[in-house]
Amino acid sequence: MTGALAILAAYLLGSVPTGYVMARAFGVGDIRRHGSGTIGTTNVLRTAGRIPAALTLLGDVGKGYAAVAVGQLIGGGEATVTAATAVAVVVGNCWSLFLRFRGGRGVATGLGALLRLTPWATWPAALVWVITALAFRYASLASLTAAVCIPLGALVFGQRPSIVLAAIAVSGIVVLRHRDNIARLLEGSERRLGARKGPA
């Protein structure tokens, strides 16, 4: 019972639409009507600016980290439950209860969740994100590359099977949510970091 409560709490926390709230607070309105139509940091940066984007990033990373921490507390530290909360908070971010099951792409929330769940595998992946973003200036490519690195890192560092499976699930969700970006990358039409875009 406590395990189910922990997973539900993680999903609800993940469902809090940080980017949507920040965009409205800074006068942009419904962020889903602008740019890529998502509520993530990159779209907030392009449509609202650096400060709301930074707050969105911190909020999404924070709720991912907090969800797993709360899951550990409610679930009594049981490894499988804790791993499941990491997946649940990312599911909440991507399919938010408060936005009629629409949402972001799970990158920042997944980062926060996995930083709590498997930090030794996540920090190197975060570095990969930074290097890829600086080299190619594609946020989507950096996110996809980092997402693939985390399950590999979890395996290399000998994490428990439940943690490896959670890392694979989070990585899979991130890749799934970037399928349109993958198509644009292949076409050469993906927008680079720093490019601004008007209403969708």
Q: Tens digit of pLDDT for each residue in 98-152?
A: 999 999 999 999 999 999 999 999 999 999 999 999 999 999 999 999 999 999 9
In 3D space, the residue among 45, 12, 11 whose CA is nearest the CA of residue 26 turns out to be: 45
Tokens of 136: 């190619």
Which pTM was predicted? 0.93
pLDDT band at 198 (very low <50, low <70, confident <90, very high): very low
Mean pLDDT, residues 51-80 taken together: 95
Give kind and range of the element (H or E) at residue 21.
helix 18-25
Q: Tens digit of pLDDT for each residue in 108-123?
A: 999 999 999 999 999 9
Mean pLDDT, residues 180-193 taken together: 93
What's the pLDDT score for residue 35? 86
What's the pLDDT score for residue 199? 47
What's the pLDDT score for residue 195? 63
In 3D space, the residue among 98, 130, 95 whose CA is nearest the CA of residue 111 turns out to be: 130
